[in-house]
Structure 1
Amino acid sequence: MTTRWLTPEEQRAWRSYLAASWLLEDTVDRQLQQEAGMPHLYYSVLANLSDAPDRRMRMTDLAETLKITRSRLTYVVTRLEKDGTLRREGCPTDRRGSMAVLTDAGMELLERTAPGHVETVRAAVFDHLTPEQVNQLEAICTRITDVLQGDEESPGCDGLPWRRRSSAE
């Protein structure tokens, strides 16, 4: 099989994407560390739970939503439990499963932190894009996500992070 090297245009686009994604993640992470003492992933867990019915989600579903491994989510949830921002409960529909539940303290932390987080995201991304570019960004990211998740004809869906089993599981 012959290697299909990236064209100069594709190489520039790829490198531009990498630079933007790394810088954006660093910017958001720094802001959340400074304001709330937590990394972006922890904030994302709390934010997703705040949007869920009764502020609770099955751990497997939360891992899929966040696009992370179940073992990584378990680590994050354990840390957030120690902080009192969430708790785990048994899953009523699956005896082996568990639910992550956002506590009142977690919701209060999220409500205090969200304005600064949104302002950081707006200042770093959306203040510099036209409405058409926002739509294009969404379309491009959705397309990439769909392909990688196997929503299209794509091999390797078992390799998705939330479906992986680590040696610890």
Structure 2
Amino acid sequence: MTTDEPIWLTPDEMRAWRALHAAVVVLPAALDVQLQRDAGFSHLEYLALAGLYEHPDHTLRLSDLAALIGIELSRVSHMVARLEKRGLVLRRPDPDDARCTNAVLTEQGQHQVTSAAPGHVATVRKLVFDGLDATALHELQKAADRIVAALSMTDLPLAPTIRKSLRPTE
């Protein structure tokens, strides 16, 4: 006999879900506060600038940048326009495909992101890693990898790029 009844979360699963949800909601807000205070830009702007900084020639297609930081192309386009007005990035046609636009990190943008990085890393360390021992860190990584694997198998628009964007740089 089959049933269409939902399989409800157990009390342990509900506690874990609520803790994960709180972390997913509050952590980006806390990172925003620190970055706005110390560097004058949002967490998403920092992710975009850092993503550009880490890529060859400090250049990415807007679509790749959107996938990297997990927002829609139209939203990244508006964000890049704001960063361009501040002299942190330039928009240039992609030489390999004129239909696409690249974001290019300027020298000023490089300076801004490298200046902001130490404070950002200190905040991430304080809020995430300082409370974890080696075992907890390993378990966090395993759990996050499993969640990312499940997400990458969905038909969500950004799902195919999740794994690619989270690979460590070599």
For normalisation by structure 2, the TM-score amounts to: 0.86
Q: How many residues align?
A: 158
CA distance in 1, matches of 2:96, 2:136: 42
C-alpha RMSD over aligned residues: 1.7
* 2:8 paired residue among 5, 16, 25: 5
In structure 2, runs of 5+ residues without a counterpart are 162-170
Show the counterpart of 2:72.
Answer: 69
In structure 1, runs of 5+ residues without a counterpart are 164-169
For normalisation by structure 1, the TM-score amounts to: 0.87
Give the direction of change, closer, same or farther, for the CA distance of 1:128–1:14 in structure 2 (3 Å limit).
same
CA distance in 1, matches of 2:90, 2:77: 12
Show the counterpart of 1:39.
Answer: 42
CA distance in 2, matches of 1:102, 1:162: 25
Show the counterpart of 1:160.
Answer: 158
Give the direction of change, closer, same or farther, for the CA distance of 1:161–1:96 in structure 2 (3 Å limit).
farther
Q: CA deviation at 1:38?
A: 1.0
Show the counterpart of 1:83.
Answer: 86
Show the counterpart of 1:27.
Answer: 30
Give the direction of change, closer, same or farther, for the CA distance of 1:107–1:162 in structure 2 (3 Å limit).
farther
Moved over 4 A (4+): none
CA distance in 2, matches of 1:105, 1:160: 30
Q: CA deviation at 1:45?
A: 0.2
Q: CA deviation at 1:161?
A: 7.6
Q: CA deviation at 1:148?
A: 1.3
CA distance in 2, matches of 1:24, 1:61: 24
Q: CA deviation at 1:144?
A: 1.3
- 8 A Cα contact 1:87 1:102, kept in partner: yes
- 8 A Cα contact 1:68 1:161, kept in partner: no
CA distance in 2, matches of 1:146, 1:59: 24
| 2:129 matches 1:131 | no
Q: CA deviation at 1:107?
A: 0.6
Q: CA deviation at 1:139?
A: 2.0
- Alignment partner of 2:147: what SS? helix
Tell me which amino acid in the other structure corresponds to 1:27. A
Tell me which amino acid in the other structure corresponds to 1:101. V
Tell me which amino acid in the other structure corresponds to 1:160. L
| Percent of pairs with identical residues | 41
Tell me which amino acid in the other structure corresponds to 1:90. P
